Amino acid sequence: MTTKTKIIIGVGSAVALIASYLIYKKMSSDKGEENPQKKGEENPPKKDDTNECKKYIVSVSKGNLNKREQPNDKSKIIGSIPKAKEIYAKKSNTDGWMELCEDGGGFVSLKYLKEVN
């Protein structure tokens, strides 16, 4: 067998191996959705490998909860979230603040959230 023939066989084997792997990954992902949902439900955000997004209810005594650009109360207010709205958030790197997992991100104070179990 010539060197050229060996190279062609080697390349063909590598292509076949990659194709098999891609087919396997596609079949594995088609077996079931990570978050199956009922008709009419919103899509919850996907979980982050290091910090899981969890469901919370906004619990302010009146008005809306301020959504901020950075995790501190001096940061620019970039929006607001109505009382009793369900949101998805995860811990931020700043104690007492949560990072929103939806609606363009932002930060909210943990003291105004109640975790939904």
Per-residue pLDDT of the chain (117 residues; tens, 9 = 90+): 777 665 666 666 766 667 677 777 767 666 554 444 444 455 665 554 457 899 999 999 999 999 999 999 999 999 999 999 999 999 999 999 999 998 789 999 999 999 998
| pTM (2 d.p.) | 0.58
Pull the structure tokens for residue 62. Answer: 């009146």
Give pLDDT, residue 72: 96
Sheet with 107-109, side-by-side order of all strands: 77-82, 64-68, 107-109, 97-100, 86-91, 54-58, 113-115
CA distance linking residue 31 with residue 54, whole number of Å: 25
CB distance 75 to 69 below 8 Å: yes
CA distance linking residue 42 with residue 57, whole number of Å: 15
What ranges do the domains of the chain cover?
Answer: 1-32, 54-115
Q: What is the CATH number of domain 54-115?
A: 2.30.30.40
Burial (0-12, 13-18, 19+ Cβ within 10 Å), 92? middle
Burial (0-12, 13-18, 19+ Cβ within 10 Å), 115? exposed
CA distance linking residue 86 with residue 97, whole number of Å: 17
Give pLDDT, residue 112: 96
Give pLDDT, residue 61: 93
Classified as helix, coil or strand, 77 is: strand
